[in-house]
Amino acid sequence: MLRTVFRTVLLIIIVVAIAAFFIGYRRADRGRPEPDATGTSGRAIDIDAARDAGAAIGEQVAAGADRAQRLAASAALTAKIKSKMALDDAIEAARIDVDTTDGVVTLTGTVRSHAERERALRLARETDA
């Protein structure tokens, strides 16, 4: 529960930061003539190129945040399933690997019986993402 709240708050902060960046980017150009900008080397700065670079960086940050959120969700789901298996006396959890990628869970390993296999599968299927 705490992880879900933390993930949600983190996601909201990232989305708000990205939105603030783009709103500030759009409001900066309201039809006013732009003054000539000069860098420390004495050369003029290409403002359009700087804006394009900033927009590209913003897109990369958003894509990275999305990947990080998906990885965190996969890790949380893996941990939930592994915890359930560790607490279940019918399953030898140390012999079963749990991998999660984009919500798809894969169980690998060896089990002592068909009943243990079925119990492990049921625990994985019953776990909410």
Instruction: Output 17-26 pairs: Cβ under 8 A, ≥24 positions apart.
Output: 18/58, 18/61, 18/62, 18/65, 21/54, 21/58, 22/58, 25/51, 25/54, 25/55, 25/58
pLDDT value at residue 16: 80
Q: Tell me: the pLDDT tens digits for 105-129?
A: 999 999 999 999 999 999 999 998 7
- The SS3 assignment for 45 reads coil
Reported as a pLDDT band with limits 50, 70 and 90, residue 33 is: low
In the predicted model, is pLDDT for residue 37 greater than 80? no
pTM of the full structure = 0.57
pLDDT band at 1 (very low <50, low <70, confident <90, very high): low
Say what the pLDDT of residue 106 is. 94
pLDDT at 84: 93
Q: What's the confidence (pLDDT) of residue 22?
A: 75
**Cα–Cα nearest to 78, from 129, 9, 28, 26:** 129
- pLDDT band per the 50, 70, 90 thresholds, residue 34: low
Average pLDDT in the 47-62 region? Answer: 88
Confidence at residue 81, expressed as pLDDT on a 0 to 100 scale: 94
What does residue 100 show for φ and ψ, rounded to 5 degrees?
Answer: -130, 130
